[in-house]
Structure 1
Amino acid sequence: MNRAQGFTLIELVMVIVLLAIVATISVQFVSLSTRGAIDLSSRQQRAFSGVVIGEQITRALREALPGSVRVNSDGSCIEWMPVVVVSNYLNLPSGGTPDSFEAVPLAGGASAQGRVVVYGYGSNLYSTGSPGPVSPPATLPAGPSPVTVTFDGGATHRFTTQSPERKFFLIEDPRTFCQQGRFLYRYRDYGIRSSVAAALPTAMPGREVLAAGLVPGSLVFEVVPPTLQRSGVVSFRLQLQSPESGELTSLSQEVQIRNVP
């Protein structure tokens, strides 16, 4: 007579223990692999965010009027005046109440509006007094040469000096990048102020969120002003932090401000 075949209790317990060990190792392996993939994705995302932030700051500052870039005392804010167009004047405003001047029209028959700046080197570009390098808002019309640039609202203005190349810039009102906590903001439409980051807007549309996830106090701007022999340079550095792991990604970059008298 054949004996009945089966497992003993000891064999069954050993199989259960071995299966538990294999399952534990498998779960740990999958968990570590998943965590590694998540960490890698987080690093890639922060690196991409750093590239985007750096490119946005670089593109904005490359349009800055030479000599208009300035920072606050701790370097957390930077301000500049964006250039709209550049042209040449035929004469500067003259007479008792100078309210216009003749200029070369823009290519393509375009028109433009903004403040006129004539040779602002060595001057305070954030002072709009007359005489001075920065005019009140003005309009550069389209038309055959010459065109007449007129200060808006019947305003008058005298410029401090002439440009060696008879060149003038048409600029927009200042813009500012400023870090507050974990956010980087871009400010506009607040007018010309005597000091940096003064009376900035507190809501849209004057304040826009440019980036988030910055380490508080990590953003620092530094400016080397332009001279007649070389261009200006803006350097900035910042850190981005993962909210899950706390891991940091650092960014450091320089921007050249083209020097065009």
Structure 2
Amino acid sequence: MHNAKGFTLVELVTVIIILGILVVGISSFVIFGTRIFMDSSAVDRIIGSSRFVLARMTRELQNAVPGSVRLADNGSVQCLEFLPVSLAGSYLSLPQAPDNSSNTMRVFTPPTSLQNGMQLLVYPLSNADVYAATNGKRFDIKSFSTTGAVTEIVFNSTVSFAEASPGKRWYAAEQPVSYCFFASGQIRRYDNYGYAATQPLPPATTGVLMAEDLSNDFATELPLALAPASLTNNAIVQLHPRFSILGESFTYQHQVQVFNVP
């Protein structure tokens, strides 16, 4: 008789059971580790995007034209609108009511060049001074010419500014900007949509997605609040957006002051 070598059925079944247990244990460990990585990545994404949008809003708001910050909501979206300053400086002379109107004014040459089509503002105190079509505070720049330290600005038509600035300040800007917070959870930034006397909610352009997973209850907890400028204080925007991810939430408490004065 020949000697037969191999495994018995009991041994094979035992090995299969042991291997099955090992595979289940290893796969559970891999799945658990993958889930932790994915959850951490999702949390990092929300924290990163929320910090980015708040930092960018802060930087832009601090350089807004005085009187341009306004806030509105309709229950499903809350929008903060303002006019970023492109250039600013001091003027030498300007046509002012009730004196004769003119299509030119003279300013000290700014550090960077003006651009045709910019809007020039003098002594804006309120939203109407900035956004209304006829306000005596904002006029279109047609062209300009520089001679040394003095620049002559030419307007599209003869103009007469309603008031002079006590500090002889002027501001040049291009287009308003809006940050809109949606009850659906998104934060979007809008620009290049023009001036409107009534604040658009949201502007009729395609906004850029800045952050997601906003979870404020718009009925009781709006993400933004505005303390308008007064004779003694600059405008202050209070931001307290709340974000939720994976059953957890965190709320920012942040204030931004508009530094520019008329």
Q: Same fold (TM over 0.5)?
A: yes
Range with greater deviation from structure 2 (27-36 or 88-97)? 88-97
CA contact under 8 A between 1:64 and 1:81: conserved in structure 2?
A: yes
The SS at the match of 1:37 is helix
| Identity across the alignment (%) | 27
Q: Provide TM-score, normalisation by structure 1.
A: 0.79
Q: What is aligned with 2:132?
A: 127
Counterpart check, 1:118 vs 2:122 = yes
**Residue aligning to 2:228:** 225
Match of 1:87 among 86, 89, 100: 89
Shift of the alpha carbon at 1:186?
2.7
Letter in 1 for 2:212: G
Q: Is the 8 A contact 2:90 2:169 kept in 1?
A: yes
The letter for the 1-side match of 2:177 is R
- Matched residues in 2 for 1:187 and 1:6: separation? 75
Are 1:259 and 2:248 an aligned pair? no
- Please say if residues 216 and 242 of structure 2, whose CA atoms lie closer than 8 Å, have aligned partners that are also in contact: no
Q: Matches of 1:173 and 1:12 in 2, distance apart?
A: 77
Give the corresponding residue for 1:168: 170
Query: Which runs of structure 2 are paired with 1:61-210 in the superposition (5 Å)?
Result: 61-74=61-74, 76-94=78-96, 95-107=99-111, 110-113=113-116, 114-122=118-126, 124-125=128-129, 126-130=131-135, 132-152=136-156, 155-180=157-182, 181-197=184-200, 200-202=203-205, 207-210=206-209
User: Which structure 2 residue ranges, 5 or more long, are not aligned?
Assistant: none
Unaligned runs of 5+ in 1: none
State the partner residue of 1:38.
Answer: 38
Distance change >3 Å, CA 81–CA 141, structure 1 → 2: farther
Q: 1:43 to 1:175 in 2, by over 3 A?
A: same
Paired residue total: 251
> RMSD in angstroms over aligned alpha carbons?
3.2
Superposed CA offset, 1:2-21 (max 9, x none): x9776554444333323322
